């Protein structure tokens, strides 16, 4: 058998005799020729099997391949502009591995619930494949960004003794003789300990929220990356966030253009995602809402529609800072110039995708932090270790969290976050 290669590497094998291994995407016959469209996970390649070349017996066998049957095909690679992927194989041999039963997902339109129930198979479809490859590129770029800037990856625990982002969305579980444990909502508090030890860290892992909301932006299990930097203030935090987002979008455009085309993404809307991003205060955001005839009361948190209206005023992500402290988490530092607002920042993605980043400068004063814990009715014992960070060499510090799935939805131009993660978890979905 010839050298085994992957479809995405075919440009290096033009004129060579190679073997491809994969699954049948489609089969067309036209008299004495069969067109075998194979997908191998890296791309799609059309094999042209001519009866007079491969012989009658093999020609008949090739015709028995059903959609998603696994097989190998060998032959010579030829550049072909019109072919999907740009290359074709002149097939000399076909080896069937496993004939697939009647495949439930066909080119006809299926309802989204039908597809979601078959997520394990749906992932093979070209759009889902493209989304997963873009997701991977986003995650790769995130790691590259922090690794190249001297950050240390710090893995935070998933079982935690207390809430980080408010108590209303905690998943709880029994934890041996120690009572209740909660699935983490955010690794931030541990990231702060890491920043005091290592200067600049990022926490990257799954996070859990018992969100009752059935919106297109909410999952109960999602991935978050959270940088935390000692000595950074809110302005430094915003600088980091915009450089970070620009890096991610630039890399996706550079390395995953084919996938963006498959997704029919409007590329121009991504190409303008360049620094500097507009920075507006919460007060200015409220003005924008009022100008757009949205009855919004100062002091409320921005809802999904509010975020959409605000982000539609700009062609790139917008940073909204200094939210009322009342609607934000206990650990956020208040603005010394106006204690009614917190040194918080949310980044709203362009095109109405809403909040993708939430962050802040942290309260670094022991007494103020203690007062906040009490105001929020949080159990002090569970946070005693966290207060230690303010007892022993406290410094100003800041960080943020980027939700991976919302970022994937935005960059891919998807309607709903359920298609941005391999196996979504939502209040009404725990399978497959």
- Residues found near Mg ion in the complex (CB under 5 A): 358
DSSP string, 37-86: EEE-SS-EEEEEEEHHHH-HHHHHHHHTPPTT-EEEEEEEEEE-TTSGGG
Choosing from 69, 141, 160, 186, the residue that interacts with ligand 4AD (CB under 6 A) is: 186
The tokens of 205 are what?
């892992």
Separation of alpha carbons 170 and 325, rounded Å = 21
Smallest distance from ligand 4AD to CB 219, Å: 4
For the CB of residue 403, give the shortest distance to Mg ion in the complex, in Å.
9
- Report whether 187 contacts 205 (CB < 8 A): yes
CA 326, CA 306: separation in Å to the nearest integer? 18
Residue 359 β-bridge partners: 345, 400
- Residue in 43, 75, 359, 424 binding ligand 4AD, rule: CB under 6 A: 359
- Is the CB of 23 or the CB of 282 nearer to ligand 4AD? 282
- Our CB check for ligand 4AD shows the closer of 218 and 247 to be 218
211 binds, among ligand 4AD, Mg ion, none (CB under 5 to 8 A by kind): ligand 4AD
Q: Is 353 in the site for ligand 4AD (CB under 6 A)?
A: no
> Which tokens in the block code for residue 316?
């790139």
> For Mg ion, which is the closer residue by CB, 95 or 221?
221
Query: CB 334: neighbour CB atoms within 10 A?
Result: 20
The site string for ligand 4AD over 154-183 (x = CB under 6 A, - otherwise) reads ----------xx------------------
Pairing of strands 221-230, 318-321: unpaired
Q: Which stretch binds ligand 4AD (CB under 6 A): 138-146, 155-163, 292-300, 350-358?
A: 350-358
Nearer to ligand 4AD, 61 or 416 (CB): 416
Asked if 358 is part of the footprint of ligand 4AD (rule: CB under 6 A), the reply reads yes
> How far, CA to CA in Å, does 264 sit from each of 126, 246, 257, 354, 412?
12, 21, 10, 21, 9
Where does this chain touch ligand 4AD (CB under 6 A) — which range of 47-55, 95-103, 133-141, 402-410?
A: 402-410
Judge residue 154's burial from the number of C-beta atoms within 10 Å of its C-beta, 0-12 exposed, 13-18 middle, 19 or more buried. Answer: buried
204 lines the binding site for ligand 4AD (CB under 6 A) = no
CB of 174 to ligand 4AD, least distance (A): 24
355 belongs to the binding site for ligand 4AD (CB under 6 A): yes
In 3D, which of 401, 421, 425, 423 has the Cα closest to residue 409? Answer: 421
Q: For the chain, first and last CA: distance in Å?
A: 38
What is the rounded distance in angstroms from the CA atom of residue 57 to the CA atom of residue 191? 64
The verdict on 356 binding ligand 4AD (CB under 6 A) reads: yes
What is the rounded distance in angstroms from the CA atom of residue 155 to the CA atom of residue 230?
A: 17
- Compare residues 86 and 352 and give the one whose CB is closer to Mg ion: 352
Site for ligand 4AD in 46-85 (CB under 6 A): none
Least Å distance between CB 209 and Mg ion?
11
Work out what residue 75 binds among ligand 4AD, Mg ion, none; the CB cut-off runs from 5 to 8 Å by kind: none
Please choose, from the candidates 97, 87, 79, 76, the residue with its C-alpha nearest in 3D space to the C-alpha of residue 2.
76
Q: Using the rule CB under 6 A, is 406 a contact of ligand 4AD?
A: yes
Smallest gap, in angstroms, from Cβ of residue 217 to ligand 4AD? Answer: 6
Q: Which of Mg ion, ligand 4AD, none does residue 357 bind (CB under 5 to 8 Å by kind)?
A: ligand 4AD
Q: Is the peptide bond before 276 cis (omega within 30 degrees of 0)?
A: yes
Q: Which is nearer to ligand 4AD, 146 or 400 (CB)?
A: 400
Q: Does 424 bind ligand 4AD (CB under 6 A)?
A: no
Residue 335 near residue 235, CB atoms below 8 Å: no
Q: Which residues bind ligand 4AD (CB under 6 A)?
A: 164-165, 186, 188, 209, 211, 218-219, 222, 224, 226, 355-359, 399-401, 403, 405-406, 417
């Amino acid at each position: 058998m010839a050298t085994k290669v992957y479809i995405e590497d075919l440009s290096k094998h033009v004129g060579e005799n190679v073997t491809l291994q994969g699954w049948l995407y489609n089969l067309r016959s036209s008299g004495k020729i069969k067109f075998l469209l194979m997908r191998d996970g890296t791309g799609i390649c059309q094999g042209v099997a001519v009866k007079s070349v491969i012989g009658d017996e093999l020609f008949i066998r090739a015709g028995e391949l059903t959609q998603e049957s696994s097989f190998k095909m060998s032959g010579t690679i030829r550049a072909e502009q019109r072919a999907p992927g740009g290359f074709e194989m002149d097939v000399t041999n076909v080896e069937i591995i496993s004939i697939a039963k009647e495949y439930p997902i066909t080119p006809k339109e299926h309802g989204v619930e039908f597809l979601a129930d078959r997520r394990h198979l749906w992932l093979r479809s070209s759009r889902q494949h493209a989304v997963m490859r873009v997701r991977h590129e986003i995650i790769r770029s995130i790691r590259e960004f922090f690794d190249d800037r001297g950050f240390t990856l710090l893995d935070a625990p998933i079982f935690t003794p207390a809430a980080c982002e408010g108590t209303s969305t905690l998943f709880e579980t029994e934890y041996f003789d120690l009572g209740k444990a909660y699935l983490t909502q955010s690794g931030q508090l541990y990231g702060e300990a890491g920043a005091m030890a290592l200067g600049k860290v990022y926490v990257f892992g799954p996070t859990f929220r018992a969100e009752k909301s059935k919106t297109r932006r909410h999952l109960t299990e999602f991935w978050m990356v959270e940088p935390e930097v000692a000595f950074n203030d809110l302005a430094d935090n915003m600088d980091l966030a915009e450089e970070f987002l620009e890096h991610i979008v630039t890399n996706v455009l550079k390395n995953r253009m084919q996938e963006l085309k498959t997704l029919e993404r409007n590329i121009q809307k991504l190409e303008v995602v360049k620094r500097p991003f507009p920075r507006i205060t919460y007060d200015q955001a409220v003005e924008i809402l009022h100008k757009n005839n949205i009855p919004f009361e100062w002091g409320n948190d921005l809802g999904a529609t509010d975020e959409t209206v605000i982000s539609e005023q700009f062609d790139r992500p917008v940073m909204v800072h200094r939210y009322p402290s009342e609607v934000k988490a206990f650990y956020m530092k208040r603005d010394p110039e106006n204690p009614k607002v917190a040194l918080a920042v949310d980044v709203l993605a362009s095109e109405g995708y809403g909040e993708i980043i939430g962050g802040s400068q942290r309260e670094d004063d022991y007494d103020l932090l203690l007062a906040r814990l009490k105001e929020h009715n949080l159990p002090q014992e569970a946070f005693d270790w966290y207060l230690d960070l303010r007892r022993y060499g406290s410094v100003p510090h800041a960080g943020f969290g980027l939700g991976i799935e919302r970022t994937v939805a935005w960059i891919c131009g998807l309607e709903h976050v359920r298609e941005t993660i391999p196996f979504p978890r939502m209040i009404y979905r725990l399978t497959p």
